[in-house]
Amino acid sequence: MTVPAAHTPAQYVQEKAAGSGSSFYYAFMFLPPPRRAAITAFYAFCREVDDVVDEVHDPHVARTKLAWWRNEVAQAFAGKPTHPVMQALMPLAADYAIEMRQLHAVIEGCEMDLTQNRYLDFPALATYCHLVAGVVGEVACNIFGRTQDSTVAYAHKLGLAMQLTNIIRDVGEDARRGRIYLPINELQQFDVKAHELLKRETPWGYSDRFQALMRFQAERAHGLYDEAMALLSDADRSTQKPGLMMANIYRTLLREIEKSQFQVLHQRTSLTPLRKLWIAARTHVLSR
């Protein structure tokens, strides 16, 4: 776990966040510098941990690396961070109520990808989503600034909606990695077979049954976006604008997938950087 000597911790996390191309980065741009520094460092931590699972092909090596991160988090909260991500994050942790249990939860969620590649039903999937997205939303809403307990509930619900959007977008890509996040009982409900998601040539695994399954997933995600927005109080709406930006970007992505008739098995739908920036800026103006 080394970093080029020319990089300061702040430079390292900035490059990690910007280099990911994520929609989150566009929302960070509108934050005041201290909050932007905190969310950038936290997001870089999430990327580091997630990259272990996505890029390390040997599960034993990946578990070893995640164990290293678990220990690094504990050391950092004991005042001895060694990785630039933790060196950037720890000076800001107390100011924004970032806790060790939250970082460990993110690691635990990513580790589930090494031990579990199918989910029996939606409650089981929601447990995974809570760790990799709900907890992230919880940390983020504290960094953005909140005064109401309901804002934490909003952040968890929004995290779930956004993670389900990711799952819908990445059905084909995930299946080729050996992971099917769509619940088994829902695949059975719509008579969609796992092997259909793995087909690598035209007509891939598309069918009326697959379309119906994916409409069901999209409707659930839209419902969760609506539930999240209903939980956000007017008192915190202004400070939570970055979350609203991300919600609008992700929901626009979901609508694009719907417009494509859920062509997600052989391609990955995405929004252009310019469109993400436009959505973020428009949300910033309309949420004043």
* 58-110 confidence digits (pLDDT tens): 999 999 999 999 999 999 999 999 999 999 999 999 999 999 999 999 999 99
The pair of structure tokens assigned to 197 is: 């998601």
Measured CA to CA in angstroms, residue 161 lies from 10, 69, 247 at distances of: 30, 27, 9
Size of the chain, expressed as the number of residues it contains:
288
Give pLDDT < 70 ranges for the chain: 1-6, 20-21, 287-288
The pair of structure tokens assigned to 174 is: 């995930």
Residues in Cβ contact with 93 at an 8 Å cutoff, skipping those fewer than 6 apart: 77, 99
State the Cα–Cα distance between residues 98 and 14, nearest whole angstrom. Answer: 19
Asked if residue 215 lies in contact with residue 186, where contact means CB atoms within 8 angstroms, the answer is: no
Q: What is the per-residue pLDDT for 21?
A: 62
Q: What is the per-residue pLDDT for 43?
A: 94
Residues in Cβ contact with 232 at an 8 Å cutoff, skipping those fewer than 6 apart: 150, 151, 154, 240, 244
Asked if residue 27 lies in contact with residue 242, where contact means CB atoms within 8 angstroms, the answer is: yes
Cα angle at 207 between 204 and 212, to 5 degrees?
130
Q: What is the per-residue pLDDT for 93?
A: 97
Q: What is the per-residue pLDDT for 215?
A: 98
Asked if residue 204 lies in contact with residue 172, where contact means CB atoms within 8 angstroms, the answer is: yes
Residue 107, judged by CB atoms within 10 A of its CB (0-12, 13-18, 19+), counts as buried
Q: What is the per-residue pLDDT for 6?
A: 47
